[in-house]
């Protein structure tokens, strides 16, 4: 299943038209989990604005959603830049008249030892994951206040529930995202804004599949993709209590639930959607001594 079809292929479990008339902004919405979320929200009737740094990703994502019958537009933005974020939100309000849902999905991370992490590497991840979440949330607040209603869902992670070597930057950022979720939930509840987070488990986006694929051999032999799928299935059976990898649709369904009227009395909550993976997680990767 490719990123582009991940959520569109799944049966719709919410009623059609559930989000009719709503406008949803999904950062990092051009690929992977973000695209799955955008596809589902569009199938439920929302106009989705797909935003990311890469114009080619967001334009093709919006186009694929429109081709499937949904309503979508795209925005190019670096969420680390508060001015760019404000300008994007102003354009969306101008074009759509409202913003009902923000999904803070844009993130950046990589495995790297913290002792040699450069200041710029640390700053990049903290700024994308944490500053970006704050800047986007703050920017949509005036529209949500005017409407007397709004939903914000931030995509977090589970790695910071324990230590997770080589991910100091991302775990610190996502711990901050969890803290923001709880604090802003209280501050902004009187405006009708509900602020929650989702901590996804392992989702085999193209990047994960690549990690399971051996590099091409010197003789140019192509990797056996059937063996790759088998290795991934056996990993899931071993490491994920629910016995399978997650899909972008698993995360998207939780976003849709929170965006629906069912989410009206839910705020400041962090939902782990991971098939039980983090509870049963093997010891963290060992550091080389
Ligand atoms: N190990 C150590 N440092 C790394 C690194 C790695 N694997 N990858 C990037 N960095 C460092 C860069 O060297 C740079 O630091 P420097 O200026 O001191 O050399 C700094 O991080 C910023 O990297 P750069 O790629 O130039 O910045 P960016 O702002 O364009 O993008 C990321 C930041 C995190 C998005 C980018 O590094 C990236 O593409 N990461 C992997 C993909 C990813 O995160 N996808 C989203 C998954 S949720």
Q: Is residue 217 part of a domain?
A: no
Say yes or no to pLDDT of 52 above 50. yes
Q: Average pLDDT in the 164-182 region?
A: 97
User: Could you report the per-residue pLDDT of 207-264, keeping only the tens digit for each?
Assistant: 778 878 887 777 777 778 889 899 999 999 999 999 999 999 999 999 999 999 999 9
Q: Is residue 7 part of a domain?
A: yes
Say yes or no to pLDDT of 179 above 50. yes
Q: Is residue 223 part of a domain?
A: no
β-bridge partners, 47: 23, 71
CATH of the domain at 123: 3.40.50.720
Check if the beta carbon of residue 213 is closer than 8 Å to that of residue 222.
no
**Structural domain total, the chain:** 1
Range of the domain at 113: 3-203+247-283
Ligand 1 atom 16: residue of nearest CA: 120
Check if the beta carbon of residue 155 is closer than 8 Å to that of residue 246.
no
Q: Is residue 239 part of a domain?
A: no
Does the predicted model carry a pTM greater than 0.85? yes
- What is the rounded CA–CA span in Å between residue 158 and residue 164? 10
Residues with a CB atom less than 6 Å from ligand 1: 107-110, 112, 118, 120-121, 124-125
pLDDT tier for residue 286 given thresholds of 50, 70 and 90: low
- What is the rounded CA–CA span in Å between residue 67 and residue 113? 43
Q: Is residue 259 part of a domain?
A: yes
Q: Is residue 141 part of a domain?
A: yes
Give, for ligand 1, the residue of 54, 108, 166 to mutate: max count of ligand atoms closer than 8 Å to Cβ.
Answer: 108
Q: Is residue 13 part of a domain?
A: yes
β-bridge partners, 116: none
Atom of ligand 1 nearest to the CA of 111: 7
Please give the residue that has the higher pLDDT: either 288 or 281: 281
Angle at Cα 207 formed by Cα 13 and Cα 247, nearest 5°?
Answer: 15
Q: Is residue 170 part of a domain?
A: yes
- What is the rounded CA–CA span in Å between residue 152 and residue 260? 12
- What is the rounded CA–CA span in Å between residue 81 and residue 276? 36
pLDDT for the residue 1: 43
Which residues lie below 8 Å from residue 168, measured CB to CB, with a gap of 6+?
Answer: 114, 117, 122
CA-to-CA separations, 20 to 41, 45, 65, 84, in angstroms, rounded? 10, 4, 15, 28
Mean pLDDT of the chain: 93
């Amino acid at each position: 299943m490719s990123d582009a079809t991940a959520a569109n292929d799944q049966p719709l479990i919410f009623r059609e038209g559930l989000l009719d008339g709503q406008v949803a902004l999904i950062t990092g919405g051009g690929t992977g989990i973000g695209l799955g979320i955008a596809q589902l929200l569009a199938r439920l009737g929302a106009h989705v604005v797909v935003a990311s740094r890469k114009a080619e990703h967001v334009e093709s994502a919006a186009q694929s959603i429109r081709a499937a019958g949904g309503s979508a537009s795209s925005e190019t933005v670096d969420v680390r830049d508060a001015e760019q974020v404000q300008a994007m939100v102003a354009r969306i309000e101008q074009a759509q008249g409202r913003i009902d849902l923000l999904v803070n999905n844009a993130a950046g991370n990589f495995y790297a030892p913290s002792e040699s992490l450069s200041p710029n590497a640390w700053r990049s991840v903290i700024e994308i994951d944490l500053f970006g979440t704050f800047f986007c949330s703050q920017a949509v607040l005036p529209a949500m206040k005017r409407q007397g209603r709004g939903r914000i869902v931030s995509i977090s992670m589970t790695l910071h529930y324990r230590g997770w070597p080589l991910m100091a930057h991302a775990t610190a950022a996502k711990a901050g995202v969890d803290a923001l979720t709880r604090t802003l939930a209280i501050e902004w509840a009187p405006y009708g804004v509900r602020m929650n987070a989702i901590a996804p488990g392992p989702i085999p986006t193209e990047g994960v599949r690549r990690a399971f694929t051996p590099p091409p051999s010197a003789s140019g032999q192509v990797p056996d993709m059937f063996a790759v799928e088998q290795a991934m299935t056996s990993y899931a059976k071993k490491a994920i209590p629910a016995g399978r990898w997650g899909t972008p649709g698993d995360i998207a369904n939780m976003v849709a639930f929170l965006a629906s009227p069912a989410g009206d009395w839910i705020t400041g909550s962090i939902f782990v959607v991971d098939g039980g993976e983090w509870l049963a997680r093997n010891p963290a990767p060992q550091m080389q001594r």
